[in-house]
Amino acid sequence: MRITYNHKLSEYHTIFHIDDPTLSYAEQLDTLIAAYNNWLTEHEGQTPLFRRFFLSDAANQQPALEQALDGVTFCATSIVQQPPLDGTKIALWLWSASDMEPLQGCFTHNGLTHYWMGGCIPYSRADISSLDAHPRVTDSEHQMRDLFDAWRCELKPMDMTIADNGIRTWIFVRDVDVNYHGVVEGRRKYFARIGLTPKTHFLASTGIEGRHALPEVLVQMDGYAVRGLQPGQVQYLYAKDHLNPTYEYGVTFERGTAVTYGDRRHVFISGTASIDDKGRVVHEGDIRLQTLRMLENIRALLAEADCTMTDIAMAIVYLRDTADAALVRSVLAGELPQLNYVLVLAPVCRPKWLVEMECIAVKAVSKTELPNF
């Protein structure tokens, strides 16, 4: 078992990797769960906030994982088929922090309420078999709208809304080349309904290939929202010299979002690929140059939040072609040798984009007029 992490300001982003790909799935799962429990024991002050499991074959592996999680310290949990590109069957990203107080599924601290939603699926408020009885939610557009409505219902009892409190979403799309257009339409229509437009703001987001164990699920979503932020604490990032506004090509998400607290700044960089300020794919067909341009774009976005690449606490790198894994690892090792990341198989929404990366950066600040995280 190999564990990598980035520790900043009593906040950890920890990635659990299996070392031996020859182990069976059951052995890999047992090894990972044991390592996870040991890590929590060794870091007694850390509260698990959010975790995502990356599986190589969700249909066969997810039921055993869910059973193994019985009795394990609970937190918002995302499970997605995005095979780790080190030949193993499972990996885990854990986000944890100290001094967070659990309260009915969310966390409170310093007058702020944080809510992580993991693994939301269409018709999550009913049995999945209901999908067969309701044809309106058997396409990706309506499933996407249903997911946002489910998130709205979860936020309402906490006196939150998507428009006012939503910070970040992760959207996983089965057969992204086929179903992504429906996701785009569903999100655009839902956002317009709740008042999120190019004149207001959107949310940081990644929309990427990812599968649920159930074939009926075309779209699943994770989300993060915060209540209690003051005006000006949230900043939207554009890097207009490098990237164009997303609405120019019909999608509705922010390139990046920064949230500044009294003691730190969180920067959420959306899934970012090799794109220019006109929305065009750059370095078509060249994975090495696409990886370099992707990093250049991320660097520009971070700079708007007064951050650098060294502030990245964790990253997920998505590849379309498993044959590109070794080269991308080599480029990342040369450019960002200390990067804490997981590399997975997950095609991007445009076939010509060969690689995409998202990340979370954490930087120490001193803003005494603001509450700490």
Give the C-alpha separation, 199 to 122, whole Å. Answer: 29
* Contact indicator for 192, 226 with CB cutoff of 8 Å: no
Are 103-228 and 238-373 in the same CATH fold? yes
pLDDT at 130: 55
pLDDT at 371: 93
Would you give per-residue pLDDT tens digits along the chain (373 residues)? Answer: 899 999 999 999 999 999 999 999 999 999 999 999 999 999 999 999 999 999 999 999 999 999 999 989 889 999 999 999 999 999 999 999 998 888 777 999 899 999 999 999 987 655 555 555 555 578 999 999 999 999 999 999 999 999 999 999 999 999 999 999 999 999 999 999 999 999 999 999 999 999 999 999 999 999 999 999 998 999 999 999 999 999 998 999 999 999 999 999 999 999 999 999 999 999 999 999 999 999 999 999 999 999 999 999 999 999 999 999 999 999 999 999 999 999 999 999 999 999 999 999 999 999 999 999 9
Q: Residue 312 carries which DSSP code? A: E
Q: What angle do CA 242, 245, 248 make, to 5 degrees?
A: 125
Classified by CATH at the fold level, domain 103-228 comes out as 60s Ribosomal Protein L30; Chain: A; (3.30.1330)
* Contact indicator for 80, 212 with CB cutoff of 8 Å: yes
| CATH architecture observed for domain 1-99 | 2-Layer Sandwich (3.30)
pLDDT at 105: 79
pTM of the model: 0.96
- Tokens 């995302």 correspond to what residue? 78
280: left (phi over 0), alpha (psi -120 to 50) or beta: beta
pLDDT at 63: 96
pLDDT at 271: 98
Q: Residue 38 carries which DSSP code? A: H
Is the CATH number of domain 238-373 3.30.1330.40?
yes
First-to-last CA distance in the chain? 31
- Tokens 């998400």 correspond to what residue? 253
**Helices (runs of H) and strands (runs of E) counted in the chain:** 8, 17
pLDDT at 102: 84
pLDDT at 127: 52
Give the up-direction half-sphere exposure of residue 158: CA atoms within 13 A in the CB hemisphere.
28
What the block records as the tokens of 357 is: 């990366």
Give the C-alpha separation, 364 to 143, whole Å. Answer: 39
| Domain extent listing, the chain | 1-99, 103-228, 238-373
Burial class (CB in 10 A: 0-12, 13-18, 19+), 278: exposed
* Contact indicator for 357, 318 with CB cutoff of 8 Å: yes
- pLDDT tens, position by position, 316-372: 999 999 999 999 999 999 999 999 999 999 999 999 999 999 999 999 999 999 999
Burial class (CB in 10 A: 0-12, 13-18, 19+), 245: middle
Q: Which helix (H) or strand (E) is 314 found in, with range? A: strand 312-319
Give the up-direction half-sphere exposure of residue 55: CA atoms within 13 A in the CB hemisphere.
22
